[in-house]
Structure 1
Amino acid sequence: MIPANRDQALDGLRGAAAIMVVYLHFVSTSGMLAAPGGGQLGVVIFFVLSGFLITRILWSRPEQGLRQSWTDFVRRRARRLYPPIIVILAICGPLMALADVPADNGQHLFATAIVLTQSAAPFAAANAMPIEWWGHTWSLSIEWCFYLSWPLAVWLMRRRGLQSQRASVWTGATALALFAGSLFLSPRFFYFLPPANIAAMLVGAALALREVEQGQRPARGRLADVAAIGLVAIVALPSNMPGLWAYRVTHFPFAIVVTVLLISTRHATQSLAQMLLRSRPLVAIGRASYSLYLWHFPLLAIIWFGFSSLAPEVRVIIAVCMLPFPVWLSYRYIELPRLRSIEGARKHQIDTSGARSELGVTP
């Protein structure tokens, strides 16, 4: 059962973003399309959503001392994120070695250490991941940069008595400055390193802070429908965006704008996009999106090299058919117990301000 205080449309949006990423990796690996499209924009959507949800949680908490507030938040994030990572490393690491998944100088243990320390982003930016099939964990490095720094900024803004509306303006201005500065980075550095990606998260944070004071305004969502159609076209049409200047100045900001529109219109009743996002399949995928994100690429690697005699399309089909099983098991028996434990602990700190559940915050 979905908790009453969850936004199902946000779960659906997370599910759609996860599908984009899985589609990109599976299609590009199989070689079905030489230019596999813009599925990587799903990661941008994840970042905006994460900034929105994390900020909504942080701002709604009772005021505490800096050390206690920061420590409690980081501990909850670690309890939320690390159990699935440890399990997938314990299972897929040895299987990838047995399947002869290529590793630079056989550095399987080094790759495991990179994932465990959540430090994949700089290695991916330098094109130096020992096993590229763990490269998708780069986005978790960005998340941790945000988790370690943003609670301090929120605490400081509240300490100085900033109203949420003014804090939203400052947050948006910071996001714009980070994005502008990141335009001068190389394509790989822009894509994998924190500046532009933290900017996307701060846009979500600014939206959350604005909603604290203004609330969720009624919206028809027609503009969101048009924007969502454009996003689907970008994802589906063949292209190789990350190496292009256009990705930085059009596709990346466009994905942020679409996400903001979809979040802002999540309660619209006359929106095709929102109806789809609130559909049971997308909501279910969104709730398990973290496990889906972690499992899809290592599982594909094991199938890809373990059954190398099969045609590429057949190997991808096998991976697609197998993927739901480890994702469901991971979500049901690893994620959910931890989420419920974290939620129970948080109830002791939540006041009557209407704070949202932390269940499923992270993609």
Structure 2
Amino acid sequence: MQTAKNSLVDTSYVPALDGFRGVAIMVVVISHYGLGHLIPGGFGVTLFFFISGYLITRLLIAEYQKEQRIDLGRFYLRRVLRLYPALIFMVVLATGFTVFMGCGFQPGAVLSTLFYYRNYYMLYGGSTALFNCSHIFDITWSLAIEEHFYLFFPLLFMGLFPRPKLLAFVMAGSIVSVLLWRLYLVATEGLTELTIFRIYHLTDTRLDAIMFGCLTSMILHLDRAGTYLRRVSHPAVFTGAVGLLFFTFLYRDGVFRETWRYSLQALALSGILPAVLYAKPYARFKEILSRSSLVTIGKLSYSLYLFHWIGVSVAENLVGGERLTVPWLLTAVPLGLVLSLISYQYVEKPTAGLRKRFGSTVETIQTNDETGSKPSRQTAIS
């Protein structure tokens, strides 16, 4: 079994993590294409949150151990270079579509998307009269949550990592605080449509999934003896984590779904993900997640997340709101896929070299024409 030390002191690429991303984006996309009553699309977002927290913490630990400091300027610049090229391309296309639909230019929608406060703007700043026009921008609500995390977490990490147990305690405290906040909102406001919308979309009610990923990285880092990995890889514990995850899908009580569900899903992932990545008994699962098809989907997940929604929004406006029909699918699916591939190939890949100059370990998908061999299995972990 790989030890926590070996897994975190470097930034070596783990293909299965991109496989997990591939699973997450497929769950989200299939749900949005009309199978949301069967496929838990919200869990795909929670999985994205968890992976983000896990990876960023892993990278920050490795950088601190190597340099004895965190270069905040380079960190934030890498995030800008990673996120903004595709986002700007998406905003340009979305704005063009809203103008085409007769809605005109919407500065509030554009600014809330570009400056990552879309989730709060959807609740507090948007006009219901323009909902159908601005709906195309709404997919960026989860990106706003992640960006809020990227803004504050490196500062917290830099200040507390010299006392790692205190940092882990603060992470755990934030997880509990978010759960208590959701419980308070439901207790005081009830399960109204507005409360449910608020809890699902806002940073202060969804940050715990990211922090669970951060805490898992910290535990693995501190657990030099591998005790945590041995425990979560025990068949009874691993089966229990999987069972807990499925329980959150099946139990439909409203209060549970808006409060405990998100915490328990992330708790389950804090056992499942390390066991699959690092424990020999689950090497078969890791092998499946490391298959080139899933890894490639994972590498494309950011583009797919943004542009599948362009396809969904165009189909809703031009074909109709009934999903899963042949005309709807023939509009949404090809458009989203083509735009995702264009974004990755011509918008995101050209910035990869620039990101490397500022410390990124990114390696992009290589085609046969570029390498003269099979596609590369290296990709970004930052």
The TM tier, using the shorter chain, reads 0.7 to 0.9
Give the drift of 1:58: 1.7
Q: Are 2:183 and 1:183 equivalent residues in the alignment?
A: yes
Distance change >3 Å, CA 276–CA 127, structure 1 → 2 = farther
CA RMSD in angstroms comes to 3.2
The answer (yes or no) to whether the contact 1:343–1:359 under 8 Å persists in 2 is no
- Identity over aligned pairs, percent: 22
For 1:82, which of 77, 84, 92 is the aligned residue?
A: 84
The aligned residue for residue 315 of structure 1 is 327
For 1:342, which of 329, 337, 355 is the aligned residue?
A: 355
The aligned residue for residue 274 of structure 1 is 286
Greater Cα shift, 279-288 or 181-190? 181-190
For 2:255, which of 209, 232, 245 is the aligned residue?
A: 245
The answer (yes or no) to whether the contact 1:38–1:240 under 8 Å persists in 2 is no
For 1:6, which of 13, 16, 24 is the aligned residue?
A: 13
Alignment of 1:209-288 (within 5 A): 209-214=218-223, 217=229, 220=233, 222=235, 223-224=237-238, 227-228=241-242, 231=245, 244-265=254-275, 266-271=277-282, 273-288=285-300
Distance change >3 Å, CA 154–CA 41, structure 1 → 2 = same
The answer (yes or no) to whether the contact 2:248–2:265 under 8 Å persists in 1 is no
* 3-state DSSP of counterpart to 1:302: helix
Distance change >3 Å, CA 46–CA 310, structure 1 → 2 = closer
Alignment size in residue pairs: 332
Distance change >3 Å, CA 36–CA 166, structure 1 → 2 = same
The answer (yes or no) to whether the contact 2:57–2:214 under 8 Å persists in 1 is yes
Distance change >3 Å, CA 181–CA 358, structure 1 → 2 = farther
Deviations along 1:72-120, one digit per CA (max 9) or x if unpaired, are: 222221111000011122223213432x38x5xx553432222112111
* 3-state DSSP of counterpart to 1:184: helix
Q: Please give the alpha-carbon distance, in whole angstroms, between the structure 2 residues aligned to 1:328 and 1:228.
A: 33
Letter in 2 for 1:72: R
Listed as ranges, the gaps of 5+ residues in structure 2 are 1-10, 186-194, 362-377
Give the drift of 1:316: 3.7
Give the drift of 1:8: 1.3
Letter in 1 for 2:342: L
Distance change >3 Å, CA 154–CA 50, structure 1 → 2 = same
The answer (yes or no) to whether the contact 2:91–2:110 under 8 Å persists in 1 is yes
Give the drift of 1:168: 1.9
Q: Please give the alpha-carbon distance, in whole angstroms, between the structure 1 residues aligned to 2:333 and 2:278.
A: 32
For 2:24, which of 17, 31, 43 is the aligned residue?
A: 17
Q: Please give the alpha-carbon distance, in whole angstroms, between the structure 1 residues aligned to 2:323 and 2:172.
A: 48
The aligned residue for residue 359 of structure 1 is 380
* TM value normalised by structure 2: 0.76
The aligned residue for residue 95 of structure 1 is 97
Q: Please give the alpha-carbon distance, in whole angstroms, between the structure 2 residues aligned to 1:201 and 1:310.
A: 33
Deviations along 1:221-265, one digit per CA (max 9) or x if unpaired, are: 755466457646866x7x988xx2121344312320232123211
The answer (yes or no) to whether the contact 1:268–1:274 under 8 Å persists in 2 is no
Give the drift of 1:220: 4.8
Q: Are 2:323 and 1:302 equivalent residues in the alignment?
A: no
Distance change >3 Å, CA 267–CA 315, structure 1 → 2 = farther
Higher relative contact order (Cα pairs below 8 Å, separated by 6+ residues): 1
Letter in 1 for 2:358: A
The aligned residue for residue 115 of structure 1 is 113
Letter in 1 for 2:173: A
Give the drift of 1:345: 2.4
Give the drift of 1:166: 4.2
The aligned residue for residue 132 of structure 1 is 135
Give the drift of 1:205: 0.9
Deviations along 1:42-91, one digit per CA (max 9) or x if unpaired, are: 111111111111111122222347xxx33322222111100001112222
* TM value normalised by structure 1: 0.79
Q: Please give the alpha-carbon distance, in whole angstroms, between the structure 1 residues aligned to 2:270 and 2:346.
A: 32
Q: Are 2:174 and 1:151 equivalent residues in the alignment?
A: no
Deviations along 1:25-44, one digit per CA (max 9) or x if unpaired, are: 2216xxxx7x4552111111
More helix by share: 2
* 3-state DSSP of counterpart to 2:325: helix
The answer (yes or no) to whether the contact 1:168–1:207 under 8 Å persists in 2 is no
Alignment of 1:155-174 (within 5 A): 155-158=158-161, 161-162=162-163, 164-174=164-174
Give the drift of 1:126: 4.1
Q: Please give the alpha-carbon distance, in whole angstroms, between the structure 1 residues aligned to 2:337 and 2:281.
A: 32
Q: Please give the alpha-carbon distance, in whole angstroms, between the structure 2 residues aligned to 1:251 and 1:188.
A: 15
